[in-house]
Amino acid sequence: MMKTMKMALWQNLVTRMAVTGLVAAGVISPVLANTFGDKEVNQNNFIAVATPLAMQGNYQLLVIEQISSKRNCWSTFNSRPQRVNLLLLNFDFTDICRRSTDSNGYSIRAGGEDIGMQYRLRLQKQGSEVVLLGRSIQGTEFEIGRTNGLADGPMKIQLNPRWRFTKQTYNGETTGRIYFTSDRSLPALTE
């Protein structure tokens, strides 16, 4: 199973790089390049977490998917912000939990389009909370979610209304990549 997942991720990366290169070279249009779709998922099987890094005020985005009911991958504490106990760190979570820690595992989808090549996910401390943003190279950004407070340790990112998790599909086949998805178009998000 793990070997299959690694192969799917590798194929996804190679495909994305090839398509991006062909679009940049003008060989194919961006419209034809968008062969990636999405599939609705049970929202209770996913969590986005802001995990503090050693450097004060910096956070890493962690997305966890519960893929089996054998053991819980996480638990939360009812507090503000909602704290997260990363249970998957205490056992071999192979075939039970899927953990994504970078853009190889998650991306943004807006208005029916994969915009992961244009916008990257970024956590930023703003006042007394951590905000999840989609940010372009040019600095245009939009908010996807927030922690609703600060605490020591991992915190749950509450997705804003109109945002949800979906899984990426490629030519109809589900990949391991997770989307932060909004049905709103990119222009509507950046107004």
What digits encode the pLDDT tens for the residues 88-144? 999 999 999 999 999 999 999 999 999 999 999 999 999 999 999 999 999 999 999
pTM assigned to the model: 0.81
Summarize pLDDT for 49-101 with one digit per residue, the tens. Answer: 999 998 777 999 999 999 999 999 999 998 889 999 999 999 999 999 999 99
For residue 6, give the H/E element and its range.
helix 2-24
Q: Give the least confident one: 26-30, 57-61, 84-88, 149-153.
A: 26-30
Measured distance CA(48)–CA(37) in Å, rounded? 21
Distance CA 73, CA 82 (A): 16
Cα torsion at 96, 43, 41, 142 (round to 10°)? -120
